Structure 1
Amino acid sequence: MIMSPTTNLSLSILLLLSLTASSSDISILFDFITNLTNTQTLNWDTIPPPLCVGNFSNWTAVLCRDGHISGLQLESMSLSGPINAPVLAPLNLFSLSLANNSFSGPFPADINKLTRLRRLFLSHNNFSGSIPDKAFNGMTALKEVHLANNGFVGKIPSSLIRVQQLSNLSFQNNQFEGKIPDFWQEGLLANFSNNRLRGAIPDVLSYEDASMFSGNLGLCGHPLSPCPKIWYRKTAFIAAASAAAAIALISILLLLWRRRRTRPLRYQKSVNQFKNEATKTENINAIHNKTEDQGKIQFVRSGRERFELEDLLKAAAEVLGSGSFGSSYKALLLTGKPYVVRRFKQMSNVGKEDFYYHMKKLGRVTHPNLLPLVAFYYNKEEKLLISDFVENGSLASHLHGKRKPDQPGLDWPTRLRIVKGVARGLAHLYAEFPSLALPHGHLKSSNVLLDGAFEAVVSDYALTPVINRDHAREFMVAHKSPESMQSDRVTRKTDVWSLGILILEVLTGRFPANYLRSGRGPGADLATWVNSVVREEWTGEVFDKEMGLGRSCEGQMLRLLKIGMCCCEPSVDKRWGMDEAAARIEELKEREGDEDYSSYASEGEGYSSASRAVTDDDFSFSKAS
């Protein structure tokens, strides 16, 4: 046990520096806790052989990932003393938790030196004082900030607004005052209850439960009582302006492909008010400098409604989002039919003839679980792909987005049905494109749409032949696979890996880190996390509680988990093919009782090293309830 931080820790450091490969990391850890009190509960006086082994740590409170320190979980240890956060910067920690201790004084200084930190937990301490407004500047990877049950005062730092991936805030039971910043991050979950906040609740938080804002006498707006009339008018004006700007934006973008000067568009009066401002932007200047193309919309399916580019320009437009390939818009034609128009800028690696050929080939693909391409528009610099609008949005939005209070999550039968639909769609793509290395190439939850019956409709498939190679390597999901990351190659089994990640995402409700890595460096993925959890016999903790953990469906959920892990096998030779993966998924039922599956876990080579720990006998549901 650590009896004297000054003497014993110094001796340990000297020993570790000479005997371990991770001496610099260990030295950093000791530097961090040197001035802390009550560290005797740590086992850091022993010499680890080494500290991190894969995703496992030989030291208490140290989290490991791929053989490196990924986080510190110094919780509930009665720790106190000065927090030297900058000393941890070389470790590139993903998470830091000092929750439920006895820390006091101001917010830790220079904590934004931890630029790769994703999760910060400081709840249930005795921190006090105001937090500097720039406290979170530069923390671009930050997702969660937990400061609940402290004594913080002053305004909520506006630097959090600039954190793009922010998804969870716990600021309750403090004395924060002033207005809630104008958060814009979709899907943000936040608890501001029991503070001294006032003003209107930001629109992006309006679907939170009212309890998240209770105990603040000055807050107003949904889900609390309406704001005074003057605030309401201001909010309504801003909302109307935003909507008009969105419509103006789509009109500006579509002007890029206009073949000739047309008569003024019949937009609402509010749009015209913003048009003058829009023409001053850099985008419109670029548009004027482009050479107008003389092409027309090319339809690839018979028996479909025909329209011209001018009809799209007249359509009511809504910006749906912007992805790694380009922007997407919903266009409602005067006929009442909605379409999705996707704008691609990274398709200049093929000529017009080859592009036309591939688009027409895509137009012949017909399957209920594949989004049909309706038409396309070709321009040398940019292209438009037009498809049907799918009303229930993406699978990603249902798994990770913010829901209304009365909107239920996806239950197990629905998730199983979605996975089966995805597998059927992929199997059809593999049959349609037997010579294509990546029949999909970009399979992820945001590219799985849900129709009115919550059936899966897969989109953005078979675009590899027309996507610029460098852009594909940077952003396409297939190039996040182990084989691409290690040797820059993809195979017919690469889409199977993407399917496996999707299955694990559906079962766990966790957003895969694979989707977020725009670079090509190594990093842990969802499969690594799942494998580490089941090896610790915490299998019940793997499953998303929102889908319902009834005893009658546990066996089938386990089977799907094993299928997902076999699909995620790092070794391409050991990984299942698409046919086998689709067949295994098709065998699954919503609940037990229809067939004997006891032999499923003992089918020899069917379960590879990635899931070797995942047999029925190894699973434990003792912590699931």
Structure 2
Amino acid sequence: MACSWTYWLFLAHVILLCAISASGDLEARALLKFKESLSNYTHALSNWNESISLCSGNDSNWKGLLCLNDVFYGLRLEGMGLGGLIDVEALSGLTHLRLFLSNNRFSGNIKDDAFFGMRSLRNVYLANNEFVGKIPKSLSELPKLANLLLDDNQFEGEIPDFSSMGLKDGNDGLCGKPLEPCMSSLKRSVHRITIIIIVIVGVVALAAISIACFICCGRWTRKTQLEKSSSELMYKKEFNNTHKQQYYKKGEHGKLYFVRNGRERFELHDLLKASAEVMGSGSLGSSYKATLLDGGTTMVVKRFRHMSNVRRDEFHEHVTRLGMLSHPNLLPLVAFYYRREEKLLISDFVDNGSLASHLHGKRSRRLDWPARLKIIKGVARGLAYLYKELPSLTLPHGHLKSSNVLLDDTFEPLLQDYALVSLINKGHAQQFMVAYKSPEFSQHDFVTKKTDVWSLGILILEMLTGKFPTNYLKQGKSGNADLAAWVNSVLREEWTDEVFDIDMKGMENGEGEMLKLLKIGMCCCEWNVERRWDLREAIEKIEELKERDSDEENSSSGIEGDVYSSRGMTEDAFSFSVNG
């Protein structure tokens, strides 16, 4: 009897393996057929070979594929310079597909029924190509479509009726069929007044409830405050305790997902057994330094509690995408852990600390001018890479500040906490993330791709002046670009030695270049978004900077008397509208 059971189990296993193999072969053939419709793919897709399996765990063996648990679930071919008239129908048999094809040179007319039957398609990114003709009607018939990008093409004609779908609309001000009808100015005013009245009534009611709770629950509140004050200590115990911890459970709940090839693998329980040191608790979560027992590898574990609104598949997809990023000025993501209540993002430990700790802390080595110039150039390059690789995000960074710029042993900067805006719960993001301290959000409740440029400008001013932007410490809308306002007020006095950080050594023969960087910082901090420089212009100007002035700039006319003309600007042009 036992032999009979063994035989049937073996037979079922063989059948399952055959089914998986057949599925992989069908996917491979579909992808190769799709590839035949493309041009200029020889180098970009050179490892697309039917003899190689598509996926190994979460890693892709074919360039541009997205994989999870040995399952292929998406195509990410953005920015590869591919062209041709894409054969969407070749992909129609692939289930659970995500399609990211933006920023290429695809062209031609997409058939109206090209997406027919692809009922599991969730994301379609076709922006910045050369498509013509009508938007395929079959897109509007996809039941699970959540994200669609078609901008910067040459589509024409009517927009299909997407009204029954739960698409995320990136055009907040767009109205009219097939979208919501436009309201008249009078209706908008009445609508705003109604909202204000509702908010006031709600605030009054909430205040009354709060007072009642405070009176009735004073003792409970004191207990809660005591528990809160010891929360970090309690978590450290939890992190080090392998028997009472909440994370390590059987199956999916105890699994770490690695998003980077060639990295040493370890399990969640290895982290839990590691000696942990609390590094700090920030607005987005707590950080822990964990040294693994085998080999002494040191990792940083960031614990996020304010990502509960993001679904598992969206989180996996977004973080896997971040794991594919590779640049000398980005801190690479190594692995992640998902649970609805909280998430863990794991990266390498950087011993030299953050830029903030060197500017405002007690680090033994103060940063001189050449080091600061090197750092700001690295930050700009890292930011440019994020903009290139994440073109669909409004905020490719979203939280750029000196404490999120780490420095390696050679003082090369590494950006961290980038591209997390879409994962953080909206209310928490708007209360704490740097992008939402910008003038455009403080005044008009919106952010743009130039919002990261504003953050870059504030960082430049912080590095040059040595002053911390105190509005970052305020919760919610600050409405106060205090650092930019202070620099502007000093420059209105024509020039003083108060602008540059007194701890910045190596300034000899570099004042002219420092003034140029100061101008760049102020042009990035322009309150009017239309007049603010875009990232490309800012980076071009930053790359032109040198450690020392040229002989011409060190002429007898002197720097002090030429504050504005050395930057090719008039005094009026340098007076920015920092107060709105």
Shorter-chain TM-score bucket reads 0.5 to 0.7
What is the CA distance between 1:408 and its match in structure 2? 2.8
Which residue pairs with 1:399 in the alignment? Answer: 359
Does 2:492 correspond to 1:535?
yes
- Paired letter, 2:490: V
Contact 2:240 2:274 in 1 (8 A): no
1:310 to 260, 266, 269: 269
2:310 to 346, 350, 368: 350
- Paired letter, 2:283: S
Deviates more, 1:434-443 or 1:550-559: 550-559
What is the CA distance between 1:452 and its match in structure 2? 0.7
SS in 2 for 1:561: helix
1:93-172 paired onto structure 2 within 5 Å: none
SS in 1 for 2:509: helix
Which residue pairs with 2:389 in the alignment? Answer: 432
SS in 2 for 1:368: coil
Which residue pairs with 1:443 in the alignment? Answer: 400
What is the CA distance between 1:352 and its match in structure 2? 0.4
Contact 1:366 1:372 in 2 (8 A): yes
Does 2:485 correspond to 1:525?
no
Contact 2:512 2:553 in 1 (8 A): no
Give the TM-score of the pair, scaled to structure 1.
0.51
1:173-195 C-alpha deviation (Å, 9 max, x unpaired): xxxxxxxxxxxxxxxxxxxxxxx
Contact 2:304 2:343 in 1 (8 A): yes
Whole-angstrom CA distance in 2 between matches of 1:492 and 1:327: 28
Give the TM-score of the pair, scaled to structure 2.
0.55
What is the CA distance between 1:467 and its match in structure 2? 0.9
- Paired letter, 1:441: G
Does 2:215 correspond to 1:258?
no
Contact 2:434 2:472 in 1 (8 A): yes
Does 2:326 correspond to 1:366?
yes
Where does structure 1 lack aligned partners over 5 or more consecutive residues?
Answer: 1-242, 261-291, 613-625
Which residue pairs with 2:428 in the alignment? Answer: 471
What is the CA distance between 1:317 and its match in structure 2? 1.0
Which residue pairs with 2:521 in the alignment? Answer: 564
The alpha-carbon distance between structure 1 residues 475 and 247, as it changes in their structure 2 partners (threshold 3 A), is closer
Which residue pairs with 1:248 in the alignment? Answer: 237
Whole-angstrom CA distance in 2 between matches of 1:370 and 1:340: 15
- Paired letter, 1:259: K
Contact 2:528 2:577 in 1 (8 A): no
Which residue pairs with 1:92 in the alignment? Answer: none
- Paired letter, 2:240: S
1:386-411 C-alpha deviation (Å, 9 max, x unpaired): 011111011111111124xxx23111
Contact 1:575 1:608 in 2 (8 A): no
Which residue pairs with 1:498 in the alignment? Answer: 455
- Paired letter, 2:538: A
- Paired letter, 1:590: E
Does 2:350 correspond to 1:384?
no
SS in 1 for 2:344: strand
CA-atom RMSD in angstroms: 2.8
Contact 2:248 2:254 in 1 (8 A): no
Does 2:291 correspond to 1:301?
no
Which residue pairs with 1:601 in the alignment? Answer: 567
Deviates more, 1:443-452 or 1:520-529: 520-529
What is the CA distance between 1:474 and its match in structure 2? 0.3
What is the CA distance between 1:252 and its match in structure 2? 5.7
The alpha-carbon distance between structure 1 residues 605 and 539, as it changes in their structure 2 partners (threshold 3 A), is closer
Contact 1:328 1:341 in 2 (8 A): yes
Contact 1:509 1:543 in 2 (8 A): yes
Whole-angstrom CA distance in 1 between matches of 2:282 and 2:238: 16
What is the CA distance between 1:244 and its match in structure 2? 9.3
Whole-angstrom CA distance in 2 between matches of 1:418 and 1:319: 27
The alpha-carbon distance between structure 1 residues 540 and 383, as it changes in their structure 2 partners (threshold 3 A), is same
The alpha-carbon distance between structure 1 residues 521 and 527, as it changes in their structure 2 partners (threshold 3 A), is closer
Which residue pairs with 2:24 in the alignment? Answer: none
2:576 to 600, 610, 615: 610
Contact 1:425 1:458 in 2 (8 A): yes
- Paired letter, 1:307: F
What is the CA distance between 1:523 and its match in structure 2? 2.8
Which residue pairs with 1:454 in the alignment? Answer: 411
Give every structure 1 segment of 4 or more consecutive aligned residues whose post-TM-superposition deviation is greater than 3 Å: 243-247, 594-600, 603-609
The alpha-carbon distance between structure 1 residues 583 and 332, as it changes in their structure 2 partners (threshold 3 A), is same
What is the CA distance between 1:557 and its match in structure 2? 0.8
The alpha-carbon distance between structure 1 residues 567 and 607, as it changes in their structure 2 partners (threshold 3 A), is farther
1:365-393 C-alpha deviation (Å, 9 max, x unpaired): 10000010100000011000001111101
- Paired letter, 2:280: G
- Paired letter, 2:271: L
1:47-106 C-alpha deviation (Å, 9 max, x unpaired): xxxxxxxxxxxxxxxxxxxxxxxxxxxxxxxxxxxxxxxxxxxxxxxxxxxxxxxxxxxx
Whole-angstrom CA distance in 1 between matches of 2:496 and 2:316: 49
1:203-282 paired onto structure 2 within 5 Å: 248=237, 250-251=239-240, 255-260=245-250
Which residue pairs with 2:40 in the alignment? Answer: none
Whole-angstrom CA distance in 1 between matches of 2:566 and 2:385: 26
Which residue pairs with 1:17 in the alignment? Answer: none
Whole-angstrom CA distance in 1 between matches of 2:502 and 2:456: 22
Whole-angstrom CA distance in 1 between matches of 2:263 and 2:571: 48
SS in 2 for 1:546: coil
- Paired letter, 1:302: N
Does 2:510 correspond to 1:553?
yes
Whole-angstrom CA distance in 1 between matches of 2:238 and 2:366: 33
The alpha-carbon distance between structure 1 residues 611 and 566, as it changes in their structure 2 partners (threshold 3 A), is farther
What is the CA distance between 1:493 and its match in structure 2? 0.2
1:92-151 C-alpha deviation (Å, 9 max, x unpaired): xxxxxxxxxxxxxxxxxxxxxxxxxxxxxxxxxxxxxxxxxxxxxxxxxxxxxxxxxxxx
SS in 2 for 1:355: helix
SS in 2 for 1:397: helix
Which residue pairs with 2:79 in the alignment? Answer: none
- Paired letter, 1:256: Q
Which residue pairs with 1:3 in the alignment? Answer: none
Q: Percent identity?
A: 62
Whole-angstrom CA distance in 1 between matches of 2:260 and 2:441: 35
Whole-angstrom CA distance in 1 between matches of 2:289 and 2:426: 28
**How many equivalent pairs are there?**
338
2:286 to 327, 344, 347: 327
What is the CA distance between 1:600 and its match in structure 2? 6.1
Whole-angstrom CA distance in 1 between matches of 2:573 and 2:314: 41
